[in-house]
Structure 1
């Protein structure tokens, strides 16, 4: 902007001038974008569920409820599309941000050529804040030394508080504030829960904004961890739903379907999809199975109801400040309900990621802890399909259960005709809608970089005309090799079995205009329509950089592929006291290999505490001192191996060590040493395949979700810990190229 002032020798012969800051269009609303996690189409009360969500239902009644809204089948890709208005492969997020697989569409990050809605709104004159789940930074770039360019503050947000990873323990979250890792403000015993904490921060942000810059609109991105596994809620919410789901998923699904038909959430004549493969009729399950599985669904429902009550606090705050009228609230889910609990459900979610089953006996052993801080539960396939009523399949899949999601838009000042909207739309349409309302556009050039064209279409045309035809005509889908395409009311979809040739996948065809729930495959009746759609899929896939197809799970990719600067290319690590937690994405790859831990200490006989801890209640390992002994515990998905060695009475230890020697596939021997002398040994019969635990690594204590039950309160080391060395041998299956020694 040209300087309109004049600078003379003194102020008396100078003309002052102040540059005009960017300002959004007069009357632009505050924008609150709320993203729920793994909440299927049939989960909220306004979408037919018995789960009590009065706050979200009220937003739907006072605004718009979309029934033909689609997302990608997984969280990071949906969030990348949501933030940019572009298809996820095209911006580099084909799967999760956990790994860079070495291809343009699989970088695990959003391209700088795809500006985010936060960046554009900040440039337009909005304040911006993000609270909650990010999962858009490569996980090997989430350490406290950065790089920070893909953290929220690097992608357009001015304030951030939440978690960078894809999953969080809601009682023991690994939190980041702005670019700094921080500890939760309270413990679970003091009443802490992550959702309440995030809403507290959101409320404080709005208060700051309206107090200090009342005429400046804001963009608040509230990405809740609920209701992603682990399903956790305060005890009173768990008790409130106790016994509600003893009737089983068949009756619940049928009741939701009836309510959807009654309220018009689904068109008249919509069929309830048959049970997905491997989902057993509830009445055919054993009493033990039903008991454990009902408890898992209770935890999920309690978490959703708790979330709704927290959102009520935010909405009430907007009303109390008198700003609700011109606040645009968009509420959606990132994908369909999760199949990651497996057939029987689980009380240990790390087991699923490692490809291992958890038995009903295991689940029953942790029954009373389900929903609390002592285990991580996820419900079985039967409840996941109920969450997606009336649809088939789940998150990760490109059938409707994975990609048709709830969407509610509420803006009292801008929506005159309330009610249900049935136009086809996709998550790439949300950013264009917000920019349309604000009166700005995605730039062609930003920060010196040419920008990808926006792929989505504004939904604003639907606000005032419920019957207007959809302005979207084509949308492709792909995830883990599952493929689909929607075009002009028809959908072709191919379910892919991992490891099978893509040529062997069978394409199904559904006419969604008359078959909402994808129950009637008409591929044989309309081969020409199917051929046209399959051809379109290949064309769209080429256009949006889908290739190469890759059906490997994310845990395998995360263990094998690392960016050129990833700490996981190293074989040796030295950790110093005072460092913040090392996040899971850059912890040493101890999987199925020999390794050593050596702690340099100065200590007295009575000193105690954790030297190194990695993981959480689901799995991990920890080296600690207690009662005159050096102890090592390997927690393999809840199976705990203990090795102990007495520290000699006359010793003044300077080095306490654990040497793990691989003796077979995912097994080995742990040897404990004091100043180089062996003091104990034991067998570790099973170790992790890809992931040891969700949480990261600390030295000098274990402050969040504990690896071991043999200590409490973080168990800080009371001696002097100088440093801890961890060294990896070259005998593991997850060797990386160009290792840095």
Structure 2
């Protein structure tokens, strides 16, 4: 039976066929499958991570991004796209078309080559099965989030490129942005950030280190562009490129988690244990490789967001204005043009639905769906003068607020316009008296239609407009579930919530199970704890990891090697505390235990966790003992806990990962007692690093 003779009916309607006693007196009918309208495009959404407005070549950067530049020259570059200022909230907007507070994502929650390979494989699989069915690909590389890891040859391509520093970078990028028509010819560059030192004020060694960190970042971005290019070439090879709608966006501005001077191991920054310059310089050739967890200094963050002020997490334009490209040869005629209409990341879903002719579903699996918050900008594809349909957009991130409306922009920074000017730490709570003061005295106003980089605060000259904008922010906040305003970070993340199991001090692990994320793993730092493994050692002995947490950037491992029991504590990659049993582990079934007993208070502010006594036991017999003068104070990142192996990079150089346990491991139990000691600012920075 040919497809054209099938008797099809819409699912949910009554069966239109005939069911007789036998097949010859019956007439079949089939539920009509969902088919795309002929000619419907494929959709590819590429979401970059922590990539600033001024970091792609087509946005004025000296960093080579030829494949992304080609999408811009063959399509459209949007100069006025906005995001939420943070990764996870922005990504919730990309997939829902709704504001992040309404999505329940007010704040928190490196394998580019492999991702590209898999993306091409997925597309090939789909086209083999249904060649006429369009596909949707969501391609999200880890780039350019820290750590900036890239093969050395990619970083070396930029040797000497950034020796003139971040001040020079901003000047060059800004001039190029004017030439490209991305900013108006009379635009003003935002002034020096108070938190960023002048390049010339750094010592020669500090400049050399900072320049290398930027070379590595540039190589990382170019490497990512290269593999995006492989995906594009594949689409051309299979004849799908011209009818594929490609959108490229970054989820927020460039990231400042590297600190004022950058780091070869971001974990040091979060544990208040920054390495001295001479130690960083000693590792300069390792930066970008698997032995580092590197991130560049604030100066490069600031430069990466040229021409804007500030960065990720803040609602100035440096945090929320991001690169955005649209390419679809078969869908519109414009080529290589700039679009300056205001747009927000919530507009991507409505635009895709618009061009493919699909109405958003009223319900999904019985759940009524809220209306989309964004609007389509498809009308701008072939009309550079078309007015924007997105007139008003609020922002709020950890109490830092802003609103755009008809070419005006109001910003209320919290805890201040910069760290130097704040007088309070990031994450400080906003109380009612604070809010009254903020709303009365600390909103700034910019006419961004004429002042794209927020260089002239005109709040005093246009007081009535400012009051209108503040009132509008509260209207939008009420509409999209923004209230109450919560500037806390650690408190928000650490607030106790109902769990499947009650709070406990004993956790049992078994081999072969998934790594337990740090957020739910037992918190063993700065408190007494024991780790007990129930094992069987075969004839001839066994070796391998019993339980571990972390990576080569920092962590601990409890393991057996050379028939001896070991415990190693990697303190932010700078010191390794190690204890080994003074006798071999015998064959047969035994309990192997590690105990840590604090012998003093931690000095978290200065990067030192609790000192203590580390002891090893075999069947309750003490076989190893060492004093640790300090331990890791705050956390490990990545900080997953794994039983029976060390996935990823080896925590200690004493073995090669994954170093799976070769005996029989029945279980490992972590017991904790005593009070857990926390340091709020450090914990807060740690959580932010995961964004």
- The superposition leaves residues 7-59 of structure 1 with CA deviations (integer Å, 9 ceiling, x where unpaired) of 11111111111111122333210000000000000000000011000100000
Is the Cα contact below 8 Å between 1:699 and 1:724 reproduced in 2?
yes
The match for 1:700 among 644, 654, 664 is 644
**SS of structure 2 residue aligned to 1:461:** helix
What is the alpha-carbon distance in structure 2 between the residues aligned to residue 227 and residue 649 of structure 1?
47
Name whichever of 693-702 and 301-310 sits farther off.
693-702
Q: Which residue of 2 aligns with 1:424?
A: 342
Q: 1:543 to 1:353 in 2, by over 3 A?
A: farther
Deviation at 1:605, TM superposition (A): 6.9
Shift of 1:80: 0.7
Distance 1:649 1:198 in 2: 45
Mapped partners of 1:453, 1:366: distance in 2: 52
| Aligned 8 A contact 2:429 2:486 in 1 | no
Give 1:450-529 correspondences, 5 Å limit: 450-497=368-415, 498=426, 499=428, 501=430, 502-503=434-435, 504-505=437-438, 506-529=442-465
Alpha carbons of 1:567 and 1:200: their partners in 2 closer, same or farther (altered >3 Å)?
Answer: farther
Per the alignment, residue 226 of structure 1 pairs with 143
Give the Cα–Cα distance (whole angstroms) in 2 for the partners of residues 557 and 360 of structure 1. Answer: 35
Hey, what does 2:331 align to over in structure 1? 414
Cα distance, 1:361–1:311 mapped onto 2, change above 3 Å: same
Post-superposition shift, 1:688?
4.3
Q: Which moved more, 1:464-473 or 1:241-250?
A: 241-250
Structure 1 CA distance for aligned equivalents of residues 429 and 106 of structure 2: 20
Matches within 5 A, 1:145-164: none
User: Larger radius of gyration, structure 1 or 2?
Assistant: 2
The structure-2 alpha-carbon separation of the partners of 1:357 and 1:534, relative to structure 1 and needing over 3 Å to count, comes to farther
1:288 deviates by 1.9
How many pairs are equivalent? 638
CA contact (8 A) 2:554 2:651 kept: yes
Residue pair 2:567, 2:580 contacting (<8 A) in 1 also = no
Q: Does the C-alpha gap of structure 1 residues 535 and 686 become closer, same or farther in structure 2, counting only changes over 3 Å? A: farther
Residue 281, structure 1, aligned to residue 217, structure 2: no
Residues 565 and 584 in structure 2, CA contact (< 8 A), matched pair in contact too? no
Alignment correspondent of 2:580: 645
Q: Which residue of 2 aligns with 1:292?
A: 209
Tell me which residue corresponds to 2:601: 664
Moved more, 584-593 or 351-360: 351-360
Aligned to 2:561: 626
Q: 1:106 — aligned with what?
A: none
Q: Give me the whole-angstrom Cα distance separating, in 2, the residues matched to 1:250 and 1:566.
A: 52
User: What TM-score does the superposition give when structure 1 sets the normalisation length?
Assistant: 0.83
> Quick one: distance in 2 between partners of 1:650 and 1:561?
43
Deviation readout 1:198-219 (Å, 9 max, x if unpaired): 0000101111122210111111
Task: Tell me the distance in 2 between the aligned counterparts of 1:569 and 1:650.
Answer: 34
Task: State the Cα deviation string for residues 458-502 of structure 1 (Å, max 9, x = none).
Answer: 010111100111111110001111110111111111211232644
Aligned residue number for residue 678 of structure 1? 622
**Alpha carbons of 1:543 and 1:690: their partners in 2 closer, same or farther (altered >3 Å)?**
farther
Q: Quick one: which of 608, 631, 643 aligns to 2:543?
A: 608
Aligned match of 1:27 in 39, 42, 65? Answer: 39
Partner residue in 1 for 2:660: 716
Q: Mind listing any 5+ residue stretches in structure 1 that lack a counterpart?
A: 98-169, 171-193, 736-741
RMSD: 2.0
CA contact (8 A) 1:562 1:569 kept: no
Mean alpha-carbon deviation: is it higher for 420-429 or for 351-360?
Answer: 351-360
* 2:30 partner SS: coil
Partner of 1:8: 20
1:397 Cα deviation (Å)? 0.5
Contact 1:628 1:646 in 2 (8 A): no
Contact kept? 1:342, 1:357, Cα under 8 Å:
no
**Distance (Å, rounded) in 2 between the aligned partners of 1:692 and 1:360:** 22
Could you tell me how far apart the structure 2 residues matched to 1:83 and 1:562 are?
A: 28
Give the aligned partner of residue 530 of structure 1. Answer: 466
Correspondent of 2:525 among 585, 591, 601 = 591
SS at match of 1:721: strand
CA deviation after TM superposition for structure 1 residue 567, in Å: 6.7
Asked if the contact 2:585/2:618 (under 8 Å) is kept, the reply is: no
Q: Distance in 2 between matches of 1:552 and 1:364?
A: 36
Q: 1:607: how far off?
A: 3.1
SS at match of 2:626: strand
Aligned to 2:184: 267
> Structure 2: how far apart are the matches of 1:352 and 1:568?
33
Q: Distance in 2 between matches of 1:39 and 1:92?
A: 24
Which of the numbers 320, 329, 337 marks the counterpart of 2:246? Answer: 329
SS at match of 1:329: strand
